[in-house]
Every structure is written in structure tokens, then in C-alpha cells.
Amino acid sequence: MPKIAVLPGDGIGKEIMPEAIKVLKAVLAMHVSKFEFTEYLIGGIAIDQAGKALPDNTLKACKEADAVLLGAIGGPKWDNLPAKERPELGALLPLRKELSLYANIRPVKMITSLVSSSTLKEEVVKNVDLVVIRELTGGIYFGEKGRHNDPPAAYDVLLYTENEIRRIVKLGFETARGRKKKLCSVDKANVLESSRFWREIAVDMAKEYPDVELTHMYVDNAAMQLVRYPGQFDVIVTENMFGDILTDLASMLCGSIGMLASSSMNGKKGLYEPAHGSAPDIAGQNKANPLATILSAAMMLRYTFDLDQEAQRIEKAVMKVLDQGFRTADLAKPTEKVTGTKEMGDAVVAAL
């Protein structure tokens, strides 16, 4: 029996996760294998109830599960804790490291019925169809950190090994080979030695993929180009911090970060989560958009369980409800009726 570790987390995570599970159970109702969904604590609620952001039993369950579904973690309630004890540093980064989830994959594709929801002009975003692949277990987030007192100073070390770069760039090439055969490697090689190292390895690896066009772009220019002409991109591969920033920027091309699904992978094992945060300002109000979580669940079916047909059914159901005019608050225009979190989940199940 396939096991799914379900981690609702904090804020709106507790509202969006039940909708994704509801959709998964509907699409898997006739499947020969019965999936087992078990909830565990993570993040701020885990700090409150278990004393730390990533309890031992949660980590153990995630290691034993076939896949992990995560809602969202964090919030201002825990901001005064020491950095390493906060939900993000105390749970999310260690979980990625312990599961060796080295690649974050975020597809960004414009849905025709949402073109008007984007803050950019229709002619700029109407043909957006790209994937951002972000290295997830190296770089400045995991490097040595510290402070000096005389004089007061702080430092964060950005470190990448050759193996870490090669495995993520390989995934970039492989992904591009299955799409439009265009890979853009984003770095800051005009300033950073780590980026020059990254670029050297990417150029060397390109010899193995003569059918894929490799280009390079500085991260500041990439941010500008994503807004100026996003249609030029097919697959973007980049390091941890640059990817963290660019994926949030790219999410707004399609109107709302509430639509952006993501997967963090190590081979077949994956952690699937929406790209947005815990949004404590709207938590408990039935306002959150569950579609990114539902689409993340579809990615789980495709990448971990090879259930592409079921994944497509979910994706088509999401397109259908949007075509029918269902809009959560983040997508709705002032004149449009707003659909609640639970009602959006119900609509997707009905569309299935």
C-alpha cells in the first residue's frame, strides 16, 4: 500500500491540505492500490505541541513514506525564536537535507482563463510555459554562518561541490531534452567564484547534450527578462538562493502564487508542496487558494507513482473550474464572485 506522509503545517496549510486529499481520494477511488494518508506535525504547530519544528516521528515517517505532501509552515508567532529553531530553518531545510531532496521543480504555465489575472500585459504572458529547476541542498542557505563582535559583523558562506552542481545541471538538461530543448543556466559569474565554477561545469556537461541549446544569464538580468519577455524561456536551472527568488517572481506571471505547484525530488522520492507560504493573515477564514496544493498532488501522482493519466485528470479538472469562472480571492477581480477554499476543492471534485 503506497504511503503518503501528510504535513498540513501552519496557517492556511491546515485548510488547503484537506482539499488536496479530497481530490486525490476522488481521482484514486477506482485505483487498484489503496493509498494510505497519515498526518504528522511540522513547523510552528510542532514547536507548540512537540517542542521542535521537525519531530523525530515526523522525520521517520517521511523517510518511510513513498511521498510527502506539505502544506505551509511558519508565521510571526515563532519569529522571536533563535534562527535554527524557527519553522523554516528548524524543519524545512533539515527535511530537505535528510531526504536528499536536491532538486526543486516548479512549472509555470499560463492558463488561458487566467491571463487577465496577471499584472503583466496579455501579450507578455499569454505564451508562458517554462520550468524552473532550483538546487535545494547546497549554497548559501546551508553554508557556515556566524557573527563577530569586534567589530560587529555577520557572514554566510556560499559553497558548492562539483557533484552538487553536476546532478542539478544534469536534471536541467534532461528536462529540456523532453521539452523545447532550451536550457538557460542562471548564475552571477561576473562576480562570484562559485558561479564561475557552476558555469564551467555546465559548459562541460553541454558536450553530452548536443541536441540541447545551453545559454547563460546573470541572475539580475534573468529577473528582468522574466518580466520583460518570459516566453523566451523553456527550462531554467540555477542555484539555491537565486532559484528561491526567481521562482516567486515567476509565479506572478500567471496571476497568483496560489497557482504555483512544486516538487522537491531525489529520484522517485519527492516532497510536494505549494510555492506559497502559510499566509497567517487569512488563515482560518476559508479564503486560501487550494489549487497550488491540488496541482502539487497531481505532480506527486505523475513523478512518484507514474500515474500520469490520473495527474492529467486533476489538471484538466482545475482548468475546467477556472474556465467555469470559479475564483478564490487572490484570483478574483473586484466584480467577480469569490469562491472559498472548501468550495473550490468541491468544485474540482465535481469536475473530476
- The residues that are catalytic are 141, 188, 220, 244, 248
Which of 35, 1, 32 lies closest to 20, judged by CA? 35
State the burial class of residue 20 (Cβ atoms within 10 Å of its Cβ: 0-12, 13-18, 19+): buried
| C-alpha distances in Å from residue 127, one per residue of 133, 236, 265, 275, 312 | 19, 16, 27, 21, 20
CA distances from 168 to 106, 158, 172, 352 (A): 14, 16, 6, 35
Q: Are 176 and 205 in contact (CB under 8 A)?
A: no
Strand partners, 348: none
Angle between the N-to-C axes of helices 193-206 and 162-177, in degrees from 0 to 180, rounded to the nearest 10: 50
Distance CA(115)–CA(352), nearest Å, equals 23
Q: Would you put residue 343 in left (φ > 0), alpha (ψ -120 to 50) or beta?
A: alpha
3-state SS, residue 120: coil
- What's at 222, amino acid-wise? A
Positive or negative CA dihedral for 30, 272, 61, 101? positive
**CA–CA separation, 34 and 116 (whole Å):** 40
Single-letter residue type at 100: S
Q: With beta carbons less than 8 A apart as the criterion, state whether 184 and 216 touch.
A: yes
